[in-house]
Each structure stands twice: as structure tokens, then as C-alpha cells.
Amino acid sequence: MNDVDLLFTHCHYDHIIGLPAFAPIYDRSVKVTLWSGHLAGRMTTRQMVDEFIRPPWFPVTMDVCKASLDCRDFVSGDVLRPREGVVIRTGSLTHPGGCIGYRVEWGGRVVAVITDTEHEPDKLDLAVLGLIEDADLVIYDCTYTEEEMEPRRGNGHSTWQQGVKLCEAAGARGLALFHHDPTRTDEELDEIEKLAKDRFAGAFAARDGQTLKFPVSLHKKR
């Protein structure tokens, strides 16, 4: 098994709950490097992981991990170079408790991970624009629609419509609709995907286990 770099955006449950079931941390032949920056100055990456992988929430502590674990801390704005040729730029998103957005550059391609974040009406977030500029793929927080947004202000989430506006302004090509409201049905997601695709050809609903080929906008098969 290959070595792994795992970058946390933040540590709300929906973003950490899979870690205890992540097989590589139990493999002694693997080096796992865990990165986080959203708690900079408040808690280290190691402390964060130790907090939630322990009784009574989990039967054992991180000591049972056989992989060689390396916990790294950074602050928003740092540029990370986890492997040769891989450059990861970081920035702050707008989310309760903080959240980090990532721009991963490798082999002449750019993938940006922008979740979770809340936008202001009729404004484009400059930090987000910087992370997604000219990106091949933007994975974006599409929890709500613009119509649903008003009573949900302050929850720290965004919409597919805002994702389209940001991608257009930044010259990004692919838009993966991601982080949907948990109450969405498959039919609603199909409808959202259709509406988004009509507005922006590179938009599509992200799926579990999905493999993408670049350029994303030309790859429309499921």
C-alpha cells in the first residue's frame, strides 16, 4: 500500500468520522501524514485526532495504529509541499470554527477543494477566487440552493449557483457539486445537476467512487 497524505479541512463530524475506518492507518508498511490548519494555535493535529479517537467514542486510542503516523500543523496561507512536484496552497473559508480550502497543483493540473464555506449575497469571496483561479476542477460546497439560503445564513454553507459564479469569474473548468444537504433525495440531486449543467457545462454532481478524466468538461459519462 502507498504512503498517504491526509489533509483535514476542519474537524466537524461529517469530515472526520471516517478516519477510524481508514484502513491505511492500521497497515504497518504505510506512512500516514495527517495535516490540519483550521485550529492553528488552539489545538495541534495530533491533539485533535487523539480527542475523537478514544473511549467512549471509540474502543481504542490512536496507539493501535500500526502505520507510521506523522502529524503536521500549518496556518492558513501556508504553501505545503508534501511530495516532490506537489504544491498545495491553503486559505481560510467562512465556516463556524474555521475551515481550510485547498488548491492542489500537480503535473500541470489544478484541483481545488472548497468545503465548507458561506458566501455573502452578491459577493465573490476573494480567498476562494484565489484558490480556484484557472482550476481544472473545483469541488464546491453546494449544501443549499439560493432559494433556500436566506433562513440558513450563519450555517457556514453555500449553493451551486454561487459555485457557478465563482468558477466563471475564476476561469475554472470543472465544478463538482459536493456536500449536499443530507435531506436531498436522488431526484432532487438529479434536478440540481441538470440546472447547474445548463448554466455551466463543466458542472456535475460528485459521486462516491467516481473517477474523472481531464479535461473534466469533456467527460460527461457517469
Q: How far apart are CA 11 and CA 48, in angstroms?
A: 8
Closer to Zn ion by CB, 14 or 146: give it: 14
Closer to Zn ion by CB, 30 or 100: give it: 100
Q: Which residue is nearest to Zn ion (CB)?
A: 12
Q: How far is the CB of 9 from Zn ion (least distance, A)?
A: 8
Site string for Zn ion, 3-42 (x = CB under 5 A): ---------x-x----------------------------
Q: What amino acid occupies position 153?
A: R
168 lines the binding site for Zn ion (CB under 5 A): no
Burial of 179 (0-12, 13-18, 19+ CB in 10 A): buried
Per-residue burial over 48-81, b if 16 or more Cβ lie within 10 Å, else e, is bbeeebeeeeeeeebeebebebebbbbebeeebe
Closer to Zn ion by CB, 30 or 149: give it: 149
Q: How far apart are CA 125 and CA 191, in angstroms?
A: 26
Q: What amino acid occupies position 38?
A: H
- Degrees, nearest 5: CA angle 37-42-48: 70
Q: How far is the CB of 10 from Zn ion (least distance, A)?
A: 6
Closer to Zn ion by CB, 33 or 143: give it: 143
Closer to Zn ion by CB, 18 or 107: give it: 18
* Contacting residue, 73, 116, 125, 136, with Zn ion by CB under 5 A: 116
Q: How far is the CB of 171 from Zn ion (least distance, A)?
A: 26
Positions 126 through 145 that interact with Zn ion (CB under 5 A): none
Q: How many residues bind Zn ion (CB under 5 A)?
A: 3
When computed from its CA atoms, the radius of gyration of the chain, rounded to whole angstroms, is: 18
User: Residue 88 is placed in which grid cell?
Assistant: 498545495
Sites of contact with Zn ion (CB under 5 A) = 12, 14, 116
